[in-house]
Amino acid sequence: MEGEWLSDGCRLQLTGPRIGDADATLRSATAFRASQQEEIQPENQYGPEEYTVGWICALPSERAAARGMLDEIHADDHIQEVNNSGGAYTLGRIGKHNVVITGLPKGMPGKAQAAAIAINMMRTFPSIRFGLMVGIGGGAPINSEEKDIRLGDVVVSAVSHGSPGVVQYDFGKSENGVFKQVGTLNKPPPVLASAVQKLESHHEMEDSKVEEYMTKMLAKHPKMLKKYGRPMANDCLFEAGYLHQAGAGPGRSCKNCDMSYLVSRDDRDDSSPQVHYGLIGSADNVMRDALKRDLFAMEKGILCYEMEAAGLMDNIPCLVIRGIADYSDSHKNDAWQAYASAAAAAYAKELLLAVPASQVKSTPTLDVDEICRKIGNIDGLSK
């Protein structure tokens, strides 16, 4: 069976396992719950110097998904934040790694905020070796890499086209009427780059564990099922020149959009999230223009767009992981945000489980004072 067309004109894939299928997910959840080895132990208490991984999110849904991936949750009321800079932390463990999760202040996205939050976190937890920027992004389905990017997929920053995984596509200068990008960002730290390469090669032979970890999260936290399970439809990609038609539909629904402008794409063999490796475009503004989306994707090889990564990559050793929540066009809405957040968090967990704890301990700690001197004054940065 190829699928069916729903009332909003978008194809619903029927092949492969669907996390959004409540009955199937609850059956899987019951099985996972029975065999689950992880235990959440809020009474566990560790000192701030015992945390080595920093995990940064921009949205509440991203942070909830990150917390849902923890094997163990630690007490946090004993942590005295340095200089009362306002951060709130979730502490826990994934595999053999103690992890600090923090988020940007609500309604305050962007590169400067991400850098400030990360630096304050490193002041509070001085043994952090690197950061993970994990959350949602807007996909570039038409790209020079010929990657078949769909909603719910994951894009991982990786060196490509001479760029170190993240490109600040709005930073440059105009010469003779032509915009030229200037400067480059730093590469991910070797310990993460090696783990990414290891996972990428493993995924050539066997499936990623992203869907497995998402299902386990829903087993541990059934309340998340309705919001974080796979949406029942709405993976709609419109032609780049066709703008969203507002109307009486709920939220930013495409009920009033002309479905004859949908891009025809083959159904996948299954609906589990696929992982792509390549460039992530970062800027101060949300990408909502499909024509610009495709232009940058074809010129620079960008696979997805977001707003925070450039604030970290240029100053802090980190890797960026993005779940695809929309197609960076005028049809952008929130329907896939929670699912995409969970997919990105699941990949981050799979990645950390591929990183030996001994390699993390041998990675140098970060000189926060030197980082602050390099980037200068940022609002919200503790001194």
Residues 6+ apart with CB under 8 A from 55: 66, 99, 100, 101, 102, 131, 132, 134, 348
CA distance 331 to 342: 22
Spatial CA neighbour of 157 closest among 303, 320, 311: 320
CA-based radius of gyration for the chain: 20
Residues 6+ apart with CB under 8 A from 242: 257, 258, 261
CA distance 344 to 300: 23
Tokens describing residue 373:
């001197």
Residue 360 per-residue DSSP state: H
User: What pLDDT sits at residue 74?
Assistant: 94
CA distance 15 to 3: 8
CA distance 201 to 339: 25
Residue 280 per-residue DSSP state: E
pTM, two decimal places = 0.85
First and final C-alpha spacing in the chain = 61
Q: What is the set of domains in the chain, with CATH numbers?
A: 7-375 (3.40.50.1580)
User: What pLDDT sits at residue 185?
Assistant: 59
Residue 163 per-residue DSSP state: B
Task: Name the H helices within 36-169.
Answer: 60-68, 111-124
CA distance 49 to 42: 18
User: What pLDDT sits at residue 253?
Assistant: 82
Tokens describing residue 188:
């991910």
**In tens digits, what is the pLDDT along the chain, a chain of 383 residues?**
344 434 444 544 433 345 445 455 455 545 444 444 445 454 578 999 999 999 999 999 999 999 999 999 999 888 866 545 556 899 999 999 999 999 988 777 677 778 888 888 988 999 999 999 999 999 999 888 889 999 999 999 998 767 778 988 876 433 444 445 544 556 788 999 999 999 999 999 999 999 999 999 999 999 999 999 999 867 999 999 999 998 655 457 888 999 999 999 999 988 899 999 999 999 888 999 999 999 999 988 999 999 888 777 777 888 999 999 999 999 998 999 999 999 999 999 999 999 999 999 999 888 887 777 766 544 444 44
Q: How many helices (H) and strands (E) does the chain have?
A: 11, 14
- Chain-centroid distance of CA 51 in Å reads 21
Spatial CA neighbour of 61 closest among 325, 281, 347: 325
CA distance 313 to 118: 11
Residues 6+ apart with CB under 8 A from 250: none
Q: Helix (H, G, I), strand (E, B), or coil: what is residue 155?
A: strand
CA distance 257 to 203: 37
- Chain-centroid distance of CA 208 in Å reads 16
Task: Name the H helices within 243-317.
Answer: 290-300, 309-313
Q: Helix (H, G, I), strand (E, B), or coil: what is residue 310?
A: helix
